[in-house]
Chain A
Amino acid sequence: MADVVPAEEFVELAGGRVHLLRGGAGEPVLFLHAAGGAGVWHPFHQLLAEAGFTVLAPDHPGFGKSDDFPAVEGIDDLVYHYLDVLDALGLGRPHVVGGSFGGWIAAELAVHSPHRVGSLTLLSAAGLRIPEHPVTDLFLLPQDKLVVMLFHDPPPAPPPPPPGAKPDLDAIIAAYREATSLARFCWVPFLSDPKLERRLGRIAAPTLVVAPADDRLIPVEHARRYAARIPGADYAEVPDCGHAMYVERPAEFASIVVRHLSEHSLSAHPRTAESGASR
């Protein structure tokens, strides 16, 4: 399985096209990306695929190569958007793994449609409003501070551009577009749905909550609260790791997630008939 090469696909929905990376063979894993990292096949994805799963990684509306979907204005719309994506992909009840912003969408999806989520994995998910442990305002953070904030052990700063170098306008515009999409969904309430916490009891899927121990963006109390409120949820912390999670420690995250997915194989579940990729 070490030769997994992800395929690039577009899913046509009524509101536009969703860009998707697909790799591996096995039970389907819908991976919902964080505010950063859209359209990138990370080593973490590769490790999940190599462990025997079909990883399906779509770009959120207004991210990466997906269309903007202007009618998707908030977290409720995102839930319906991903129900449409599941339907279009023929996924009845896949594993759902979400990181940070994507973890919030995963949790809301599992609250809204418990029967559509085979297993749930939340990687330092946003979504809860815990005023005594506020999420850092990433919209106000300068780019260099954001990088430092994301890692336990930040990578060295890139060398300054040579004098007179032209800024990469396309890259700046692309980043601004993604920040705009994120703000559209979560400027206020900030990265949260105040009603989510009291609804978490609806989640039926076997759930794993993972937190990087040194998360300076979303305090670890958020993951602990998710684990406390979701019935039967397991909880794990990854030491010496920041909010960049599977970017900073891909092997550790992959190993923890693969164990959860394997322990809760879709075929072992009584509702096998609905599961799996039907295409």
Chain B
Amino acid sequence: MKFSFFHLMPYPYLPDDFDERYASSALTYPNANFSPELGSALYARYLDELEYADKLGFDGVAVNEHHQSAYGLMPSPNLMAAALTRRTSRARIMVLGNAIGIRGNPLRVAEEVAMLDLMSGGRVDSGFVRGIGWEYFAHSVNPVKSRSRFNEAHDLIIKAWTSPEMFSWYGENYEYRYVNLWPRPVQRPHPPIYIPGAGSTETMRFCAERKYTYMSVYAPTRIVRRWFDGYRDAAAELGYQPDPERIAFSVPIYVADTDEKAHAEARPAIEWLYRKGLKQTPEMVTPPGYMSPGSLRGVLASGMRPLGGFSYDDLLAQGQAVVGSPASVAERLGTLYAELGGFGQLIGLFAIGTSTHEQVMRSAELFATEVMPVLRPLGVMTASPQATA
């Protein structure tokens, strides 16, 4: 099992009347509520936490991209990754990911990730995401084009990293007469790719065909199980059994010395994450064209409910947060491992909502010293005739 410390970099200082006054913490939540002084201190604190995770022995430190939101303060994940290249030494630097569906110029993404790869000595993992619904409002990109832009940007970036010669690109969304990347990445053929999945069978197949890491987003265990099985089935149809490391389970995790202390401290932070940080209107979640009518039908028929509608206890029971003493967390993650049919990477969200710096540091430390050793043997490829297929 590989473990990474994922940071959303939330802006936790929401006003007391947030719930009544605002439809969301994103898009239309006024930035008059943002304090640059507090924000500056948060960046310093959050980078310290990621750097500490590297020292603790996490295999990866992860950042992501969000726009116009208190949910996550990283419009540019590559800037944060660049800072981490100089202040970490062993952990993979995971950009999960660049939102290539909404970027105007995907070649710029290829350039920046190549730079990060060189700066980090080949430690970069490159996630690609479509960008979430509200970001198509926020950056004025047509959500109907989301998948087309994502696919084309991906193809262009991979080709730009790997092509042995200069080429031209004429696509539905982008045109470049000269693609001639300087610098090229140091990892060959290119940095490992991570793609989050949320039920789309096209995405499962896309990842399985390319042996990319397929990672889950917040959802109940029974639904994540369906996604992971979909990825495994897609690989089976292609004639191979995926390395468990290509399947990454992502979940908020909070560890304290005792169960009692852990729940007392985690409850407000988890509730902040799901009820305030992720508070959105249906129009923001699925702008027109962001999903195909078939995918939308699947989501509606599966009975998925808005995340904010679940209680703290529901979220724990559904595997959407893991909280407790080191022993309890290890046991619970072992159970989820079995319920999900296995996975080889655990991407833990350790800095949750309103949790304090001291809480996050202690939680990460307990996890690294007492939970990781228990789970480490899980999710490793066993030698089998199929494995070499």
- Is the Cβ of A183 less than 8 Å from the Cβ of B142? yes
**Residues 81-112 of A at the B interface (beta carbon under 8 Å):** none
- Is the Cβ of B296 less than 8 Å from the Cβ of A176? yes
Which of the 9-residue segments A137-145, A196-204, A265-273 touches chain B? A137-145
- Which residues of chain B have C-beta atoms less than 8 A from A180's C-beta? 144, 288-289, 293
Q: Which of these, A139, A142, A173, contacts B288 with CB under 8 Å?
A: A139
Q: Is A169 an interface residue (CB 8 A)?
A: yes
How many chain B residues touch A (Cβ–Cβ < 8 Å)? 22
Q: Which of these, A140, A172, A184, contacts B283 with CB under 8 Å?
A: A140
Cα–Cα distance between A228 and B120 once the two chains are bound (Å): 61
Cα–Cα distance between A110 and B289 once the two chains are bound (Å): 29
Q: Is A264 an interface residue (CB 8 A)?
A: no
- Is the Cβ of A139 less than 8 Å from the Cβ of B287? yes
- Is the Cβ of A176 less than 8 Å from the Cβ of B283? no
Given A139-B288, A176-B293, also A184-B144 (CB < 8 A): yes
Cα–Cα distance between A169 and B293 once the two chains are bound (Å): 10
**Residues 120-153 of A at the B interface (beta carbon under 8 Å):** 137, 139-142
- Which residues of chain B have C-beta atoms less than 8 A from A169's C-beta? 297, 300-301
Cα–Cα distance between A167 and B282 once the two chains are bound (Å): 15
- Is the Cβ of A141 less than 8 Å from the Cβ of B288? no
> Taking chain B's interface residues, is the majority helix, strand, or loop, or is none over half, making it mixed?
helix
- Is the Cβ of A173 less than 8 Å from the Cβ of B296? yes
- Is the Cβ of A176 less than 8 Å from the Cβ of B288? yes
Given A173-B296, A183-B288, also A140-B137 (CB < 8 A): yes
B171 CB, min distance to chain A CBs, angstroms: 14
**Bitwise interface map of B from 117 to 143 toward A, beta carbon under 8 Å scored 1, else 0:** 000000000000000000011001111
- Is the Cβ of A139 less than 8 Å from the Cβ of B137? yes
Q: Is B89 an interface residue (CB 8 A)?
A: no
- Which residues of chain B have C-beta atoms less than 8 A from A177's C-beta? 293
A97 CB, min distance to chain B CBs, angstroms: 26
- Is the Cβ of B143 less than 8 Å from the Cβ of A167? no
- Is the Cβ of B283 less than 8 Å from the Cβ of A187? no
- Which residues of chain A have C-beta atoms less than 8 A from B137's C-beta? 137, 139-140
Q: Which of these, B283, B286, B293, B297, contacts A141 with CB under 8 Å?
A: B283
**Residues 207-224 of B at the A interface (beta carbon under 8 Å):** none
Q: Is A188 an interface residue (CB 8 A)?
A: yes
Cα–Cα distance between A187 and B290 once the two chains are bound (Å): 12
Cα–Cα distance between A183 and B141 once the two chains are bound (Å): 10
Q: Is A179 an interface residue (CB 8 A)?
A: yes
- Is the Cβ of A183 less than 8 Å from the Cβ of B289? yes
B262 CB, min distance to chain A CBs, angstroms: 36
- Which residues of chain B have C-beta atoms less than 8 A from A179's C-beta? 288-289
- Which residues of chain A have C-beta atoms less than 8 A from B142's C-beta? 183-184, 187-188
B131 CB, min distance to chain A CBs, angstroms: 14
- Is the Cβ of A183 less than 8 Å from the Cβ of B144? yes
A139 CB, min distance to chain B CBs, angstroms: 6
Cα–Cα distance between A220 and B300 once the two chains are bound (Å): 38
B305 CB, min distance to chain A CBs, angstroms: 12
**Residues 134-162 of B at the A interface (beta carbon under 8 Å):** 136-137, 140-144
Q: Is B281 an interface residue (CB 8 A)?
A: yes
- Is the Cβ of B281 less than 8 Å from the Cβ of A184? no
- Which residues of chain B have C-beta atoms less than 8 A from A230's C-beta? none
- Is the Cβ of B283 less than 8 Å from the Cβ of A142? yes
- Is the Cβ of A142 less than 8 Å from the Cβ of B282? yes
B126 CB, min distance to chain A CBs, angstroms: 28
Chain A's closest residue to B287 (CB) is A139
B76 CB, min distance to chain A CBs, angstroms: 22
Cα–Cα distance between A75 and B28 once the two chains are bound (Å): 28
Q: Which 6 A-B pairs have the closest CB atoms?
A: A179-B288, A183-B288, A187-B142, A180-B289, A180-B288, A184-B144
Subset of 6 A-B contacts with CB under 8 Å: A140-B283, A173-B293, A173-B296, A180-B289, A187-B144, A188-B140
Please give the residue numbers on chain A whose beta carbons come within 8 Å of chain B beta carbons, in ascending order.
Answer: 137, 139-142, 167, 169, 172-173, 176-177, 179-180, 182-184, 187-188
- Having A141-B283, A179-B289, one finds 20 other A-B pairs with CB under 8 Å, namely A139-B283, A139-B288, A140-B28, A169-B300, A172-B296, A172-B300, A173-B297, A176-B286, A176-B291, A176-B293, A180-B288, A183-B142, A183-B287, A183-B288, A183-B289, A187-B140, A187-B141, A187-B142, A187-B143, A187-B288
Please give the residue numbers on chain B whose beta carbons come within 8 Å of chain A beta carbons, in ascending order.
Answer: 28, 136-137, 140-144, 281-284, 286-289, 291, 293, 296-297, 300-301
